[in-house]
Amino acid sequence: MTTVVRAATRASPLARWQTDRVGALLGRLGVVVEPVVVSTLGDERLDLPIHAMGGKGVFVTEVQRALLDGRADIAVHSMKDLPSITEEGLTLAAVPERGDVRDALVGARFLDLAPGASVATGSIRRRAQLAALRPDLVFSELRGNIATRLAKAADFDAIVMAAAAIDRLGVNPGVWEALPVEVLLPQVGQGALAVECRSDDPATAALLARIDDTEAHRLTDAERSFLATLGGDCDLPAASHATADSPGGPITLRSLLAAEDGSVVLRDERVGDDGVAMGAAAAGALLDAGGRALLQA
């Protein structure tokens, strides 16, 4: 007998790719995934910056609601859009294999940006880090799905987007460069998918556990712990990226907290085995090092 699982998802091509990828993984287990397409606040209000709408959650709240009210059995998200504190009644049951974590500069290479170049991005994290490196850059807001953003690229000297989106959609943006994490530290969970189910549905949780990449899950847990300790959805530019030289081996966690204009950039790097504890410790260290004053300001 075929098992059918309903997956709540946004309508964008990238979101549908992500859901199709989860469907392909579950398909190997004899499961058929039926998409339940949901519109989110972030999709509808393209006239507002993401941070003006409350930051994280604007792309996931309605998707999670479809799961909680029984219209869907699972929800598929970009991990970077998911609040670091899991919604009551839900379980983060699977983190499939992770893609490219880097940010990409489209339209020019970083070293080729002329003085005063115009760069468009909807992310205050990207803007702050680039401003710290190049205070001369002029920033503009950028919203919309991947195709829309690429279409707007000609209006600026460069735009910034996730390298994973370029890879997954197979688009050719012309001149572009994936920026090393040493230049632009990624958003928490960037490049990873997150699959949720209801906490009272152990059968679905057990099914999703079979497509979980335990290493990707372990590393993103460390990053999410950093953000959760900052306050769940810190209003300041924040970044955290966990790596390990071998599966199950020691974790290196690099974290960042900055002023929106890039005038202050606080960094932390630590190595250890307990990623969740490391994330919390990194957040505490950056708050004590001046981050708390930035939040109060």
CATH of the domain at 218: 3.30.160.40
In a domain, residue 63? The reply is yes
Structure tokens that stand for 152 in this block? 């707007």
User: Beta-carbon neighbour count of residue 280 at 10 Å?
Assistant: 17
In a domain, residue 184? The reply is no
Q: What is the mean pLDDT of residues 76-83?
A: 94
Domain range for 122 is 103-179
Percent of the chain scoring above 90 in pLDDT? 82
Residue-wise pLDDT for 214-230, tens only, equals: 999 999 999 999 999 99
Shared domain check, 196 and 223:
no
Shared domain check, 271 and 228:
yes
Shared domain check, 173 and 125:
yes
In a domain, residue 295? The reply is yes
Q: Grade residue 168 by pLDDT with cuts at 50, 70 and 90.
A: very high
Shared domain check, 202 and 55:
yes
Return the pLDDT at 40.
65
In a domain, residue 266? The reply is yes
On the question of pLDDT at 233 being above 90, the answer is: no
Shared domain check, 145 and 33:
no
Q: What is the mean pLDDT of residues 227-241?
A: 84
More confident residue, 235 or 273: 273
Q: Give the CATH number for residue 26.
A: 3.40.190.10
Query: Catalytic residue numbers?
Result: 81
Shared domain check, 110 and 165:
yes
Return the pLDDT at 295.
85
- Nearest-CA neighbor of 31 among 13, 12, 7, 54? 7
Shared domain check, 198 and 174:
no
In the chain, the number of structural domains is 3
Q: Grade residue 53 by pLDDT with cuts at 50, 70 and 90.
A: very low
Residue-wise pLDDT for 136-155, tens only, equals: 999 999 978 888 889 999 99
- Residue 265: beta bridge partners? 258
Shared domain check, 63 and 87:
yes
In a domain, residue 66? The reply is yes
In a domain, residue 185? The reply is no
In a domain, residue 186? The reply is no
Q: CA-CA distance, 104 to 100, in Å (whole number)?
A: 10
Shared domain check, 245 and 117:
no
Shared domain check, 130 and 50:
no
Provide the CB-side half-sphere exposure for 173 (13 A, CA): 31
Q: What is the mean pLDDT of residues 99-104?
A: 98
Q: What is the mean pLDDT of residues 191-210?
A: 98
In a domain, residue 173? The reply is yes
Shared domain check, 133 and 89:
no
Shared domain check, 64 and 140:
no
